């Protein structure tokens, strides 16, 4: 069996890791072994935080909707209950955007939710 020389592939592998670690602080960006660990850890954090980001954004939307609802004299839970009862197909992301950008439209949404809660 012929001898396999790994120089090209080994250098390519190291170059790939060091490129991914570019900009890391201290030895994390320069030393291969440490950089490999830092890149692996960074990828793990990235994977985890792509999921956490969804939770964080939902919490932000709920906070914004609640604040705007309280300004209009209704609690978040009653607003959401009223919207579900009225059959409005607005999700939290859209509601939060309306609450921030167009308070008059949000007030109309609150009124429709309030009317559907009192009707049922």
Model confidence pLDDT, tens digit, residues 68-91: 999 999 999 999 999 999 888 899
Q: Please give the residue that has the higher pLDDT: either 118 or 104.
A: 104
Q: Which domain holds residue 62?
A: 10-119
pTM of structure: 0.79
Number of domains in the chain: 1
Q: Is residue 4 part of a domain?
A: no
Q: For residue 8, with 0-12 CB atoms within 10 Å meaning exposed, 13-18 middle and 19 or more buried, which class applies?
A: exposed
Q: Is residue 1 part of a domain?
A: no
CATH number at residue 102: 1.10.1900.20
Distance of CA 107 to CAs 8, 34, 67, 68, 76, Å? Answer: 66, 55, 12, 9, 13
Residue reference for tokens 């509601």:
95
């Amino acid at each position: 069996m012929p001898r396999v020389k790994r120089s090209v592939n080994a250098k390519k592998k190291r170059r790939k890791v060091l490129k991914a670690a570019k900009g890391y602080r201290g030895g994390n960006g320069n030393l291969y072994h440490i950089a490999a660990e830092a890149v692996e850890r960074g990828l793990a954090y990235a994977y985890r935080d792509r999921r956490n980001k969804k939770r964080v954004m939902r919490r932000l939307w709920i906070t914004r909707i609640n604040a705007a609802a309280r300004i209009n004299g209704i609690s978040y839970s009653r607003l959401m209950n009223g919207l579900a009862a009225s059959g409005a197909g607005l999700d939290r992301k859209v509601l939060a955007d309306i609450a921030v950008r167009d308070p008059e439209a949000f007030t109309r949404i609150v009124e429709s939710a309030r009317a559907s809660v009192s009707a049922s």
